[in-house]
Amino acid sequence: MAVAGANRPDMKLAEPTLESIVIERPKPTKKKHPQNLCLDKAYDFPEVDELVADWGYTGHIARRGVDQSKRKRIPGYRARRWVVERTNSWMNRFRRLLIRWEKKKENYVAMLHIACAWITYQQTGIFG
């Protein structure tokens, strides 16, 4: 998780976000373990393309100036972006995160961790 002000461009946080990955992933290979990274148009910069390649990911970055309505449609294919949008929506249910009251970054990150833990707790359904 990388935290910065709202006025910070997304592409500036690409590297800190990749560095903060907690779960160790398999070594990427083209055939056996391909690693994909889907990003929106805010990451359409050559620096991000290089970063994605350096980390061994296959980048799927929406490009600026490309008309999305003319993109090839695959029947039965469902976009994966909704998973991210759904999770962001769940995070917005925590008013303390939606309106940032904390002045210290450490306190805000702690609240993000608590919110993620609570969402995980609710979604597992283990405890009722």
Contact assessment for residue 61 and residue 44, using Cβ atoms and an 8 Å cutoff: yes
pLDDT tens for residues 40-63?
888 999 999 999 999 888 888 888
Strands 36-39 and 58-61: parallel
Q: What is the pLDDT of residue 26?
A: 79
pLDDT reading at 28 higher than 90: no
pLDDT in tens, 80-109: 667 777 888 888 899 888 888 888 989 999
pLDDT reading at 68 higher than 90? no
